[in-house]
Structure 1
Amino acid sequence: MMATILLFLLLSAIFTAEAQQGESIVSLGSSLTPTTRFSWLSRSGLYAFGFYQQSNGYAIGVFLVGIPEKTVIWTANRDNPPTLADVTLNFTGDGRLILQSAQGKESTIVNPPGRATSASMLNSGNFVLYNSNKDIIWQSFNYPTNTILQGQCLLAGVRLVSSVSESDQSTGIFQLSMQKDGNLVQYPYIPELKVEHAYWASGTDGQGNNVSLCLDDDGHLYLLNSTGKYLSNLTQGGYPTNDIVRLMRIDADGIFRLYSHNLEKNGNWLVNWSSSDDKCNPKGLCGLNGFCTTVDREAECKCLPGFVRVHQDNWSSGCERSFTAESCQIKNGNMKYIMLEESNTVWEDSAFSIMQQILTKEDCEAACLEDCNCEAALYKDGGECRKQRLPLRFGRRVLTDSSVALIKVGKSTPIINNIVPMVRERKPQKGILIISISLAAFGLIMLVISGIAIYRNRVWNYKRLSNNSGNVGLSMDVSPRSFTYSDLEKMTDGFKEELGKGSFGTVYKGIISNAQQIVAVKRLEKPLTEGEREFQTEIKVIGRTHHKNLVRLLGCCHDGENRLLVYEYMSNGSLADILFKPEKQLCWNERIEIARNIAKGILYLHEECESQIIHCDIKPQNILMDEYRCPKISDFGLAKLLKPDQTNTKTAIRGTKGYFAPEWLRNQRVTTKADVYSFGIVLLELVCHRKSVDWDLPEEEAILEEWAYCCFEAHELSKLVTGEEVDQRQLDRMVMVGLWCILDEPSLRPSMKKVLLMLEGTVDIPIPPSPTSFLSTI
């Protein structure tokens, strides 16, 4: 007990000391509303306490200001419905925080144990209430919801509970509990917990009843007891602290992760550590009668045979029968049910009967069919049959487990010897015929009315767009729109700010004034005869191409000899700007994720869009980075639509030296495998964090593809990432994929679909040959 008091006093002293450093004081009588003054800021301006938007209303909590995603840190009364815009949050004269509606209805947000005289949103992200002695009498850090911040501890006996989703902060279905026995454990959020329900644990049970989970500024996440002894280091820490925000959160998918965000780079949130890489580990992810299976490392939920989802947009609601359960008794020799199986699945075992002498799966099925209490059975090789009642829960597919779930489902019972007099049979048929004709006539009338309404609506929309042709705002819901040259001159302030040079011209920064939207305007500068063809290609191809890893074409200009394209603006420049500059280092996980996303974009061009597209110039300069450092492939001016009878290209060499495939030089047919080659070079550059050709390096290392194969052959791949800690198996896989991609013989290179599967680790990768070993046979 004394140790608990000492730990509490120590933490309170830390928080109080911080509160005295540049805090922002909120006095009694202050108030907030969702639409005017909606928050109280910390002195740093990084954290705020107040209203934030949720669903179609507002919630109250602590959140990060000006940072996209993962902004909500703490939520008050998280399961209350969102409030309307006419409410007021009052810091009352008696020291309480009260939410008051326009009708005078009150609800308590914070009711401290003593009388509060002031409040403050601290720079640490902790919202506190003080008494008249400036002692903290209530603080949000003591009542975490799903997140702890740097400098915060999760105390013994306290738990974090996941939210429903990123946008809905109400209580989700998973919890992280700092147990009083010293063990940090993850469970599904269910009323009756058992030891076997845990799906992750720190293994520190028995270490005392005063253990806390703490997060330091340098990313050190650890378990600490009341004497100051480190029990377990989940992360080692030692990461940079300047302009870095860190938080640990149990996410809606049931995995808790350590995140960091660089305030200077304005990038995306990075995952520094996670409790599991298997997204099917959390128990209950797919609800009752549903099971989880991994597809491309992502969790996918499925229902048991004979079941359908309860809610299409919410898997945690589970699955329900797609048939009406009837008496299981056998009547007239007809069985009402059959058994369907789901192999390689494991479930929570709540058997009411265990049969050890069953020899085969068929015997287990028969035993369940004959037992009215049996609704499912779990069968294992070796003859064990465990009868179950529904619902089944905590299901997941495990390919290495031979268990089979046998599910009892209904079947239609054939009608035998059911003779009905013909006179009685015709009357219902006549009635059905009349009803059918009436419904068909009604449907035809409604179809005509709908057609007229749609036609009029389209005509009205067309007229409205025509009338607004002078408006230079962009609509993201329509196809690329046309601009006049004078429009683009105004948008770019006379083509004043140059962003860079693309394959066919210069790119300028522009602003849509009425929409306050930044865009990139590419001015094509090729001769008209060639530029016309390229311009038409870009418009036709990009206008029909939409993917999260492709730069989107927003508009175009075909004004006399002027050919210009308007693209979405990428605030982080190109991959080359980030990858090859020492001051903009990308960590290993970022580089691997970028590689996967580039592969997804190319795969879409090759196999998933309306017409197959060969990009012909994949390189870091043509891969742009958005504000979250998500890569998007740009510059389809070189892209060529493949017609059904056209599978090769024999025009002038396209692409960039160092990235274009060898077949360009040999005047051979050029297919999608040319892009695979270019991607292989980019992949090796991402893995090794260097350019493909660098003559500043020793001669044997100057050409990356040769150096990479030499290191692979000598089992010395660590030389490619000197001074960096990486996952060795991941490094092996990435280099092997890159070497397969850059083989001289196009037919030996994998397709982009196979490349992506190899990158995701879902297929085995054979040992690649030397990239030039087949050159003599070509």
Structure 2
Amino acid sequence: MPISSASMLDSGNYVLYNASRAIVWQSFLYPTDTLLPTQPLLAGKELRSTKSETDHSSGIFRLAMQVDGNLVQYPVDTPPYYSSFTNGAGSNVSLNFGVDGRLYLLNDTGGNLKNISEREIAKWSSSTYRCKPKGICGYNSYCVTMGEAIDCRCLLGFESVNPGNQTSGCERNSSIGDVCRSKNWNCNYTMQELGRTWLEDAPYMVLSSSGKEDCKQACLEDLNCQAAVLEDASCRKQRLPLRYGRRYEGTSKVVFLKEVVMSSAAPAPDAVVPKGSRKNGRIVFLIIGLMNGLNSDAKWNEDVAPRPYAYEELEKMTNNFNEEVGRGASGTVYKGVIENSQKLVAVKRLEKVAAEGDKEFQTEMRIIGRTHHRNLVRLLGYCLDGPKKLLVYEYMSNGSLADILFTPGRKPYWEERMGVARNIARGFLYLHEECDTRIIHCDIKHQNILMDEYMCPKISDFGLAKLLQPEQTRTTTGIRGTKGYVAPEWHRKMPITVKADVYSFGIVLLEILCCRRNVDWSLPHDEAILDELVYHYFESGELRKLVGDENIDRKQLERVVKVGLWCIQNEPSLRPSMKKVLLMLEGTVDLPVPPSPNSFLSTI
């Protein structure tokens, strides 16, 4: 409808009118970070904090008037720390700022449902303890109160992702390979007690404990454990990322971080020593992404892992390749058991392997073997026997991402799916930017994302692109001219960069979002191609149709859709880096509206 006039009212409400002087839009219905007197916060709307007093872009806090009648406040992607406890009061409850300076919850007939007292307002600002809200500091950091302000500090072995933004969290400042580079270094593991620090995240395992030494030992013996929290007689094991850390003045709670301690008379000439980490001739730093499923008879050293196997050993290990557990373009996978430890492994027989020498193959194995991240499937060994080339991986007991997304009755909840998406992004960020040799996967799809016993996703088959013949990494779906998971530059004879992986990740992200395959011809023709359908619903404002009756926050749903659409842009330069993808998924950066994936006109 055409707009004929506009007016700034004395209340501060900016109003647009049509020719009949009817209001067609008003700013009071679309609040940002402030409510003015007489302004309502309607059901389904929210206030967003600013990042700081000088940066007015969206921060992490939300005050949301939910459609169930409950008023809540929370940091992004964390549980609410304030609630009005009025859920069930109706779908049209609103928060209203009266001219008397007080806040009221009104029902759909205008009746006063509840007065919000000054005491409750104090709770919103957490004035009694400003570090109480979970998520106020980012991953791998902890919150410390400093008078009226807070300070987010990185845990030992981490550094800030963005020093100018406390909520961005912390990332590792060194890798295992940087320090354990020389054979002359001896690596041992220990637990470092953190004084007056507490991690409130839910543990992946809780054990009964007789005390500090018992709890520390339990974490040391568990390769997945990165931190242990001792409270009374329980030992709570934590995996990365470490979340919801804060300074705690109590005496009954103790946190231990797992560290690696290296000692040597003289460091290797090319060893990288973390800045500020020399203490009394030792180097101490937090282990990040401990090796998952190491071979029991292999020492932790990049020169001895992965281990070479004879073909006869793998025949025995797999009972003559008896149990097939997977098959793909790169080869067939068989289930095996390491005899001396009874550890399950997956043995992949590579097919159509590129014609390269034994030395080149072994070099590739060392490169792949030096990658250590909790979201990568661990390469334990390999076999080189003439034309026979096989790889030995840790065994993933819960199948692939496809098994949990597309199996009726196994559909994960929204938060579980988003956790999976963020973890996959972390794995690719490591491959693209953090490991010693940059690795482009070239074959990202749901079948190559495997799930471990804790339902943690791990990327498989990375590094195989250089081992396989060219046609193995340049396949297309051949369905209606769509490109499936393969970035369009493969077909334009353009140089292939990490942005090809970003495109494929975007397709997988949309599958995670909707719990359906990218191409499904059992559906009506106009719904068969998922990425086309997602953009159609995004453009028409009908995103709810993608997730059915799931109760998902509209802003979170829109954010994930935007991330996916930016990732699958036709032009590689328009796609974000995997680091930015992760920040966008975590809600720490704002997203512009993505163009049609086939557009070449915008940038991010």
The TM-score, its normalising length taken from structure 2, stands at 0.52
Which structure would you say has the larger Rg? 1
Contact 1:598 1:631 in 2 (8 A): yes
1:576 is displaced (CA, Å) by 1.1
Contact 2:440 2:463 in 1 (8 A): no
Matches within 5 A, 1:147-186: none
Contact 1:599 1:755 in 2 (8 A): yes
1:694 maps to a residue whose letter is: D
Structure 2 CA distance for aligned equivalents of residues 668 and 754 of structure 1? 23
Structure 2 CA distance for aligned equivalents of residues 502 and 531 of structure 1? 24
Q: 1:286: which partner in 2?
A: 144
Contact 1:286 1:317 in 2 (8 A): no
2:546 maps to a residue whose letter is: L
Matches within 5 A, 1:182-221: none
1:564 is displaced (CA, Å) by 1.1
Matches within 5 A, 1:270-281: 276-278=134-136
Post-superposition CA distance 1:175-214 (Å, at most 9, x none): xxxxxxxxxxxxxxxxxxxxxxxx956678xxxxxxxxxx
Contact 2:404 2:412 in 1 (8 A): yes
1:508 is displaced (CA, Å) by 0.6
Structure 2 CA distance for aligned equivalents of residues 528 and 651 of structure 1? 11
| 2:399 aligned counterpart, secondary structure | coil
**Is structure 2 residue 477 aligned with structure 1 residue 654?**
no
Matches within 5 A, 1:339-378: none
2:395 maps to a residue whose letter is: Y
1:759 is displaced (CA, Å) by 0.7
Contact 1:650 1:670 in 2 (8 A): no
1:766 is displaced (CA, Å) by 0.3
Give unpaired runs (5+ residues) of structure 1: 1-198, 205-252, 256-274, 302-310, 319-392, 396-445, 452-471, 642-648
1:588 is displaced (CA, Å) by 0.8
1:726 is displaced (CA, Å) by 1.1
1:298 is displaced (CA, Å) by 7.2
**Higher RCO (Cα < 8 Å, 6 or more apart):** 2
Matches within 5 A, 1:658-737: 658-737=484-563
Post-superposition CA distance 1:475-506 (Å, at most 9, x none): 26242111111111111111111111133211
Q: 2:194: which partner in 1?
A: 314
1:636 is displaced (CA, Å) by 2.3
1:716 is displaced (CA, Å) by 0.8
Identity, % of aligned pairs?
A: 58
Q: 2:298: which partner in 1?
A: 475
Identify if the C-alpha distance between structure 1 residues 569 and 312 changes in structure 2 by more than 3 Å, giving closer, same or farther.
closer
1:670 is displaced (CA, Å) by 1.2
**Is structure 2 residue 407 aligned with structure 1 residue 581?**
yes
Identify if the C-alpha distance between structure 1 residues 495 and 447 changes in structure 2 by more than 3 Å, giving closer, same or farther.
closer
Structure 2 CA distance for aligned equivalents of residues 627 and 476 of structure 1? 24
1:638 is displaced (CA, Å) by 3.4
Identify if the C-alpha distance between structure 1 residues 765 and 554 changes in structure 2 by more than 3 Å, giving closer, same or farther.
same
1:654 is displaced (CA, Å) by 2.4
Q: 1:523: which partner in 2?
A: 349
Post-superposition CA distance 1:39-79 (Å, at most 9, x none): xxxxxxxxxxxxxxxxxxxxxxxxxxxxxxxxxxxxxxxxx
Q: 2:339: which partner in 1?
A: 513
| 1:589 aligned counterpart, secondary structure | helix
Give unpaired runs (5+ residues) of structure 2: 1-79, 86-129, 154-159, 162-166, 172-190, 199-246, 250-263, 270-294, 478-483
| 2:492 aligned counterpart, secondary structure | coil
Post-superposition CA distance 1:62-113 (Å, at most 9, x none): xxxxxxxxxxxxxxxxxxxxxxxxxxxxxxxxxxxxxxxxxxxxxxxxxxxx
| 1:614 aligned counterpart, secondary structure | coil
Identify if the C-alpha distance between structure 1 residues 634 and 676 changes in structure 2 by more than 3 Å, giving closer, same or farther.
same
Identify if the C-alpha distance between structure 1 residues 537 and 631 changes in structure 2 by more than 3 Å, giving closer, same or farther.
farther
Q: 1:207: which partner in 2?
A: none
Once the two structures are overlaid, the 10-residue window that deviates more, 291-300 or 667-676, is 291-300
Structure 2 CA distance for aligned equivalents of residues 610 and 490 of structure 1? 34
1:292 is displaced (CA, Å) by 3.6
1:477 maps to a residue whose letter is: W
**Is structure 2 residue 572 aligned with structure 1 residue 752?**
no
Post-superposition CA distance 1:280-307 (Å, at most 9, x none): 8xxx953789944397867679xxxxxx
Contact 1:509 1:520 in 2 (8 A): yes
| 1:521 aligned counterpart, secondary structure | strand
Once the two structures are overlaid, the 10-residue window that deviates more, 676-685 or 693-702, is 693-702
1:660 is displaced (CA, Å) by 0.5
Matches within 5 A, 1:51-70: none
Identify if the C-alpha distance between structure 1 residues 699 and 512 changes in structure 2 by more than 3 Å, giving closer, same or farther.
same
Q: 2:464: which partner in 1?
A: 638
Structure 1 CA distance for aligned equivalents of residues 496 and 532 of structure 2? 23
Post-superposition CA distance 1:649-694 (Å, at most 9, x none): 9987525530000011111111111001000100011111111111
Identify if the C-alpha distance between structure 1 residues 679 and 488 changes in structure 2 by more than 3 Å, giving closer, same or farther.
same
Structure 1 CA distance for aligned equivalents of residues 535 and 359 of structure 2? 40
| 2:336 aligned counterpart, secondary structure | strand
Matches within 5 A, 1:223-622: 276-278=134-136, 286=144, 291-293=150-152, 313-314=193-194, 316=196, 474-475=297-298, 477-478=300-301, 479-526=305-352, 529=355, 535-536=361-362, 538-622=364-448
Post-superposition CA distance 1:387-435 (Å, at most 9, x none): xxxxxx999xxxxxxxxxxxxxxxxxxxxxxxxxxxxxxxxxxxxxxxx
Q: 2:284: which partner in 1?
A: none
Identify if the C-alpha distance between structure 1 residues 474 and 586 changes in structure 2 by more than 3 Å, giving closer, same or farther.
farther
Structure 1 CA distance for aligned equivalents of residues 381 and 472 of structure 2? 28
Structure 2 CA distance for aligned equivalents of residues 716 and 200 of structure 1? 30
1:613 is displaced (CA, Å) by 1.1
Q: 2:220: which partner in 1?
A: none
Identify if the C-alpha distance between structure 1 residues 763 and 254 changes in structure 2 by more than 3 Å, giving closer, same or farther.
closer
2:540 maps to a residue whose letter is: A
Contact 1:524 1:531 in 2 (8 A): no
Q: 1:267: which partner in 2?
A: none
Identify if the C-alpha distance between structure 1 residues 300 and 681 changes in structure 2 by more than 3 Å, giving closer, same or farther.
closer
Contact 2:329 2:472 in 1 (8 A): no
The TM-score, its normalising length taken from structure 1, stands at 0.41
Contact 1:525 1:531 in 2 (8 A): no
Structure 2 CA distance for aligned equivalents of residues 706 and 752 of structure 1? 22
1:739 is displaced (CA, Å) by 0.4
1:585 is displaced (CA, Å) by 1.3
| 1:616 aligned counterpart, secondary structure | coil
1:552 is displaced (CA, Å) by 0.7
> How well do the aligned residues superpose, as a CA RMSD in angstroms?
3.9
Post-superposition CA distance 1:365-384 (Å, at most 9, x none): xxxxxxxxxxxxxxxxxxxx
Total equivalences in the alignment: 349
2:474 maps to a residue whose letter is: R
Contact 1:573 1:625 in 2 (8 A): yes
Identify if the C-alpha distance between structure 1 residues 317 and 519 changes in structure 2 by more than 3 Å, giving closer, same or farther.
closer
**Is structure 2 residue 566 aligned with structure 1 residue 740?**
yes
Structure 1 CA distance for aligned equivalents of residues 306 and 531 of structure 2? 40
Once the two structures are overlaid, the 10-residue window that deviates more, 690-699 or 527-536, is 527-536
Structure 1 CA distance for aligned equivalents of residues 146 and 583 of structure 2? 31
Contact 2:306 2:366 in 1 (8 A): no
Identify if the C-alpha distance between structure 1 residues 533 and 748 changes in structure 2 by more than 3 Å, giving closer, same or farther.
farther
Identify if the C-alpha distance between structure 1 residues 314 and 764 changes in structure 2 by more than 3 Å, giving closer, same or farther.
same
Structure 2 CA distance for aligned equivalents of residues 534 and 635 of structure 1? 18
